[in-house]
Amino acid sequence: MYDIGIIGGGTAGMTAAIYGQRAGKKTIILEGGVFGGQITSSPNVENYPGIASVSGSEFSMNLLDQAVKLGAETAMEQVTGIRDEGDRKVIEASGKEYPCRSVILATGVTHRHLGVPNEERLTGAGVSYCATCDGMFFRGRDVAVVGGGSTALQDAEFLSNYCRKVYVIHRRDEFRGENSIVKRLEEKENVEFILRATVKEIIGDQAVERLIINSKKTGKEFKLDVSGVFIAVGQIPKNEVFSDAVKLDANGFILAAEDCVTSHPGIFAAGDCRTKEVRQLTTAAADGAVAALAACKYIGENS
C-alpha cells in the first residue's frame, strides 16, 4: 500500500514525490514514457528561479535523483485507469495494480504538432513549442509563430521584444485570439501577419533556416527565411482514461483549481493536465507541492 500514487513523471509529478517523501509518506511515480516529460527535449532552460542555465534533460534527472534519494519508488508503467475501493484507490497499469491511499494525476500535455517534414528532426534546433522557454535564444533574429489563438498571439508579442522580425502565420483570415493583442501587434513595426497560409515544410540542415509557406490567397508557395519557428496550434491533454474517475472540461483538462483538488475525494491534479492559465516549469513545480500537501492532509483526515 502506497500513501501517494503519482501518475506522471514530469516536473509536477516528481516535485509531488519529493514533498510526499519529505512529509514521511510512501510514494510511487508511474511513468509510461520518459521521466521529465516535455522539458527533456529543451536544450537550455533559463527561466527556472535559482538556476541560470541547465539542459532540460539535466534538470529532469536532478529532480528524479532527488526524489529517489528521498525514497520515492518509480515504475515504468502505462496507467489504464483508477478504481476506487472506499478506503483506497487502485491504480491499474499494464495488468498490475498499485493500491494507494491517495492519487495525484500529473499526466501533463502534448503539444499539437503541424506534422510537416523536418518538424520532429529540428525540434530543439529552431523548432519550439514554448516561446517563453526558448524565445531569448533568438534575440535579434527573424522568427515565425504558427497559430491563431491567444497563445500564438501572446507568443508573438513576447518574441517581438527580442527578435528582429516576427511573422505570425495563420490559416484563416481572422485570429481566434484576443482582439486587444491583435491590435497591439498591428502597431509593432517588427511584426507581420501572414494570413490564409500554412506551413508546408521546415527547411534546415543542423537548424531551422527557412519555411516553405503555402498561400491560400494566391495558391502559390513561397520561402520565408527564419531562424526559429514557434508552433502554437494547441495542446492535447492525456486524461481520457481518467474520465470515469474525475471530471474533465470540454477540452479534456482535469477540472481542478489552484488547490489541485478534483471532483473525486482523494484524487488530485497537478501541472499542465489541469485547468489553468499558465503552464510553465515553475507552475508545474508549485502544483506538485500543493497537490502533495493536499494528499497528506487527506490521508491524515481519513486514517
Which residues are designated catalytic? 130, 133-134
Quote the CA–CA distance of 297 and 190 in Å, as a whole number. Answer: 51
The C-alpha cell 497559430 sits at: 147
The answer to whether residues 45 and 281 touch, using CB atoms and an 8 Å cutoff, is yes
Write phi, then psi, for 257 (nearest 5 degrees): -90, -160
Quote the CA–CA distance of 94 and 57 in Å, as a whole number. Answer: 26
Quote the CA–CA distance of 60 and 36 in Å, as a whole number. Answer: 5
Q: Residue 222: beta bridge partners?
A: 213
DSSP state of 166: E
Q: What is the edge-to-edge ordering of all strands in the sheet holding 197-203?
A: 197-203, 210-215, 221-225
